[in-house]
Amino acid sequence: MKQTLLFLFFLVLHPLTACAAVQRGQDQLDMKIGQMIMVGFRGTTLQEAPDLREDITKRNLGGVVLFDYDVPSKSSGRNITAPDQLRKLTRELQQAAAVPLFIAVDQEGGRIARLKTKYGFPESVSAAELGQINNPDSTYRSSLITAETLANTGVNVNFAPVVDLNSNPENPVIGSLERSFSSDPAVVSVHAAATVKALCAKKIVPTLKHFPGHGSSTTDTHKDFTDITMSWDKTELEPYRKLIGDGYSGFVMTAHVYNANLDPIYPATLSKRIITGILRDSLGFSGPVISDDMQMQAVAAHYNLSKAITLALEAGVDILLFANNSSYDPEIAQKAISIIHSLVDKGMLTPERIDSSYRRIMKLKQQYLNSSP
């Protein structure tokens, strides 16, 4: 009580200092919220992306995701055209940022590769092919080539490995694209571990995806609501259980899949039962959780932006990903940050909740982005 009175007395006597303290607190909140957003953009140089530059310099943006193909305009050359160009772009991005950026790509291998041979990058092997070979050393060597390629071009996050089980080979977004190592969770765990080891060796942040499992789906969350209630099996959690138990540090990416047996109301990205209850409390994951693209139709077609952000943060998501490659909105980061500020101002989201995400994000950045391999 005495300390509180002394503090209030100090503020009355020193209003300018009080205003400065409030401003510092606001600046810190701005920094923390900005770090919780990752966006995609158009441009092969930072000069071509003035909105992004403003997001980085004025809104403390935490990360970006890069693509070689722009889906809305159906055109190539969105962010990636050659190794030298990509290296220059990532250097420009980092130079503009007060806090080192997460710079991410989907470089899984095979058909899901943003760094393609036609742009001058090494050929990559799909997870399905590596799983069929079933030699962890081969997977490690292949993944190490990918890791070296990413590191040499300034990319520091790979949205890989996929740990979805190939339980439905006809799955339009996993099995049919050869993105899964195997239908056997033990095989998936071994090859995912080899991939993670290779990425970590070159200080590339790995990403286990898509939690709690997308392998059994018959529809694509990019396009609409995806219900896995009748097809999902608890064995799909085993790769997460194994890797987390072995000390995995990196991202876990959510899936926008709906499973009424896990949560009768919300899809996984928006579900506290799934993200906090299963991933954190049951499996013990303490690192940052990143959403799959919040603009995908499985979320965007059923929840407005404010509701989706509110539910995702309440669920336990730390970084909201807006890939800007299903639809394109150059102001999406500004909108998302404004919504989060509003949630804090209204008391719907506590500063402590923001702090918890910020600590996880900064711990990962310190681990991977502050030292060379």
Q: Which of 259, 325, 333 is nearest to 296 (CA)?
A: 325
Determine the residue type at 120.
G
299: which 2 tokens?
């979320």
Which three-class secondary structure state does DSSP give residue 289?
Answer: strand
Is position 292 annotated as part of the catalytic site? yes
List C-alpha distances in Å: 174 to 181, 218, 242, 319: 10, 10, 21, 23
Which three-class secondary structure state does DSSP give residue 209?
Answer: strand
Q: Which of 148, 102, 89 is nearest to 124 (CA)?
A: 148
Cβ proximity of 109 and 142 under 8 Å: yes
Buried b / exposed e over 85-96, threshold 16 CB at 10 Å, is: bbebbbebbbeb
Neighbour-count burial of 74, counting CB atoms closer than 10 A to its CB (0-12 exposed, 13-18 middle, 19+ buried): exposed
Q: Which of 222, 256, 263, 293 is catalytic?
A: 222
Cβ proximity of 124 and 107 under 8 Å: yes
Q: Which of 141, 50, 152 is nearest to 103 (CA)?
A: 152
**End-to-end distance of the chain based on CA atoms, in angstroms?**
50
Q: Which of 106, 292, 293, 318 is catalytic?
A: 292
Is position 256 annotated as part of the catalytic site? no
Helix pair angle (136-153, 185-201), 10° resolution: 40
Active site residues: 222, 292
